[in-house]
């Protein structure tokens, strides 16, 4: 941490390297940046900033100790945090979960046109658990193609047939043929190269 400059670098459990974080991205209203100590655990969302779009950084963060963990106690590992988050996300109303996938807060940081680089594997798992059992008509009513195309989450682009980042293997392993018909057809130009 560079306390007098308001930034530092986070080591992410289970991920190589470190990511930049800045005091202005803090969600916390309870803890002053100056009170953070080396080694404190934080919750964070990884993406990029308009100032340095090519650099991965914590685009929102808050000290783990600032969150209320009454049922669980303060988590001691990323695996425990992810498990708790997954449980909470599974309990959300479907519309709230869909709203989380839109990540409007991130769009606002980018004045409406963010890159599709938000990384959230726990949200991906919870959201796919919600989508997979839906009927083709329910997917159509959800307007899944629009939701996928407007989401800045990297996993949404892997599921969006209109995106060059679409993964046909992910689509085929996630959805039934009837569901895929409601989502849309992949583009022929890149179909052959996206099987890997």
Give per-residue pLDDT as tens, 29-85. 555 666 788 888 888 899 999 999 999 999 988 888 888 887 888 888 889 999 999
CB 1 within 8 A of CB 38: yes
| Reported confidence tier of residue 189, pLDDT bands at 50, 70, 90 | low
Question: Can you name the residues that pair with 10 across neighbouring β-strands?
Answer: 19
Query: How is the chain split into domains, by residue range?
Result: 1-67, 81-187
Higher local confidence (pLDDT), 156 or 28: 156
pTM score: 0.85
- CATH, domain range 1-67: 2.40.50.140
Torsion angle of C-alpha atoms 86, 136, 190, 174, degrees rounded to 10: 40
């Amino acid at each position: 941490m560079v306390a007098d400059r308001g930034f530092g670098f986070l080591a992410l459990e289970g991920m190589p390297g470190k990511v930049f974080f800045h005091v202005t991205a803090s969600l916390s209203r309870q803890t002053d940046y100056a009170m953070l100590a080396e080694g404190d655990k934080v919750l964070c969302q990884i993406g990029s900033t308009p100032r340095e779009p090519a650099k991965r950084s914590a685009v929102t963060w808050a000290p783990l100790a600032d969150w209320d963990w009454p049922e669980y106690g303060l988590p001691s590992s990323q695996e425990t945090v992810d498990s708790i988050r997954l449980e909470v996300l599974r309990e959300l109303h479907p519309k709230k979960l869909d709203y989380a996938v839109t990540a409007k807060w991130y769009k606002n940081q980018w004045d409406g046109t963010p890159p599709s680089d938000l990384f959230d594997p726990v949200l991906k798992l919870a959201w796919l658990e919600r989508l997979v059992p839906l009927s083709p008509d329910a997917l159509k009513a959800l307007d899944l193609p629009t939701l996928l195309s407007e989401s800045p989450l990297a996993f949404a682009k892997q599921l969006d047939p209109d995106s060059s980042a679409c993964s046909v293997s992910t689509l085929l392993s996630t959805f039934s043929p009837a569901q895929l018909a409601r989502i849309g057809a992949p583009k022929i130009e890149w179909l052959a190269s996206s099987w890997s």
